[in-house]
Amino acid sequence: MLVIQLKVSKDNALIDASYRLSLTEMQIVLYGIGLINPTQPEFPLNYRIDIKKFADMFNRSHGQIYQEVKEAIVKRFWERDFSYLDEKGRTVTLRWLTKMVHEDKSGYIEIKFSEEIQPYLHQLQGNFTTYYIDKIAKFKSIYSVRLYEYSIMYLNKNKMDAGRLPILISEIKNKLGLDNKYNRFCDFKIRVLEKAKNEINESSDIKFDYKIIKLGRSPYKIEFIISRKEKQKHPIDNKNYKHNKISTTALEAAKKLVLSSGTGWDLYVIEQQFYDFIKIKGKPDNLEGAFIGFVNSKIKNKP
DNA sequence: TCGCCACGGTTCGCATGAAC
DNA sequence: GTTCATGCGAACCGTGGCGA
């Protein structure tokens, strides 16, 4: 079975936003985002979801999948929104979709993302996070997806392979849309944190753990302990990795270029893009030179 | 230091409604 | 129709505070 490797790029504000979707709804969003090329000038708001490809991607191949996806969109996703704090500290609430078209038995559903969401998915400038859908495709819990995104965002943003991220319990519950749920911490721990931890460690490219920090006897903060799995640290195949690794000197030079360009781009993301690029084009003789050229070209052609 | 008490967390399990 | 998510009760356990 051929499954296309879709890459998801989201503005960090969207990952940081407070919202709650069911697993199917989140998979629809990710599939749609996966079809977007975040650097292309055009942003086609309409997306055609091929139900068969969707089912293959998320390992949900069975006879009812079209009906399930259709009902998930028509009955629930249509009403869903998400909110975030803008630069003035105001709460902004947006709808995900503005239109959906379905024709039973066609095998396709068309959705249209709202125009307001475009800046969070398209022509992203530096402050965004990228990962492959296949890393989260096996997750059964929506919280695993959200915590995975949050972890990847943290590692990429700080250009780390491992780190610790402390966060208030009230804050993480807010981000997960669980403000008025799981009033007992033990329920939150078992049903959200433990479940996510198991799924992320089992199926994704990162290791995820957490430490509960208490004030007296009451938990008030969680410290997420996140690291990239060894074999996933390098985005190209392991057997060739040592021959293809970009030197620290070249990375430093590229970092200076990015800083002076004022784009605010994440060098880690550019590095990933370069590895993808040479996967297709083949390894250049002068890897460092090609990388610097790649960065220069991106800066020159920035939107 | 020890023992007691109160408070809050943990575990188990069941009920209910939503999602699949 | 089945599975999953959520809420909550009951019993038990661990910890902190306090007095002897």
Smallest CA-to-CA distance from A246 within A281, A293, A207, A206 is with: A293
Give strand C nucleotides closer than 7 A to any protein Cβ.
4-8, 14-17
A110 and A48, same domain (yes or no): yes
List, in order, residues 6 or more apart from A212 with CB less than 8 Å away: A189, A219, A221, A222
Residue A221 burial (10 A CB sphere; 0-12, 13-18, 19+) = middle
A107 and A142, same domain (yes or no): no
Check if residue A179 sits with its Cβ under 7 angstroms from strand C: no
Domain boundary among A178, A203, A231: A231
Which residue range(s) make up the domain with A251?
234-300
Smallest CA-to-CA distance from A195 within A214, A182, A179, A213 is with: A182
Domain boundary among A201, A231, A261: A231
Q: What is the pLDDT of residue A237?
A: 40
Nearest residue to B7 (CA, C1')? A217
Q: What is the pLDDT of residue A62?
A: 55
Q: What is the pLDDT of residue A44?
A: 65
Residue A294 has pLDDT above 80, yes or no: yes
What nucleotide is nearest A21 when CA is compared to C1'?
B19
Q: Mapping DSSP to helix (H, G, I), strand (E, B) and coil, where does residue A239 land?
A: helix
- Whichever domain contains A190, its CATH number is 1.10.10.10
Residue A87 has pLDDT above 80, yes or no: no
A62 and A115, same domain (yes or no): yes
Q: Answer whether A224's CB lies under 8 Å from A210's CB.
A: yes
CB atoms within 10 A of CB A186: 9
Percent with pLDDT over 70 in chain A: 75
A206 and A267, same domain (yes or no): no
What nucleotide is nearest A25 when CA is compared to C1'?
B19
Distance CA A123, CA A181 (A): 36
A290 and A227, same domain (yes or no): no
The reply to whether A1 falls in a domain is no
Distance, angstroms, CA A150 to C1' B16? Answer: 32
Distance, angstroms, CA A92 to C1' C9? Answer: 39
A267 and A289, same domain (yes or no): yes
The reply to whether A2 falls in a domain is no
Report the mean per-residue pLDDT for chain A: 74
Check if residue A241 sits with its Cβ under 7 angstroms from strand C: no
Q: Give the tens place of pLDDT for each residue, A267-290.
A: 666 777 787 777 767 777 778 788
- Considering only A19-23, A72-76, A108-112, A229-233, which range has the smallest mean pLDDT? A229-233
What nucleotide is nearest A65 when CA is compared to C1'?
B20
Mean pLDDT across the stretch A175-195?
A: 79
A159 and A60, same domain (yes or no): no
Q: How many domains does chain A have?
A: 3
Residue A113 has pLDDT above 60, yes or no: yes
Check if residue A190 sits with its Cβ under 7 angstroms from strand B: yes
- Alpha-carbon torsion angle A293, A294, A297, A302, nearest 10: -150
Question: What's the pLDDT band for A216 if we cut at 50, 70, 90?
Answer: low
A35 and A108, same domain (yes or no): yes
Check if residue A62 sits with its Cβ under 7 angstroms from strand B: no
Domain boundary among A191, A214, A231: A231
Question: What's the pLDDT band for A42 if we cut at 50, 70, 90?
Answer: low
The reply to whether A103 falls in a domain is yes
The A 98-127 residues near strand C by Cβ under 7 Å are none
A213 and A107, same domain (yes or no): no
A127 and A72, same domain (yes or no): yes
Q: Answer whether A12's CB lies under 8 Å from A157's CB.
A: yes
Q: Which residue has the higher pLDDT, A88 or A5?
A: A88
Q: Produce one character per residue of A36-66: b if its CB has 16 or more CB atoms within 10 Å, e if not.
A: bebeeeebebebebebebbbbbbebeeeebb
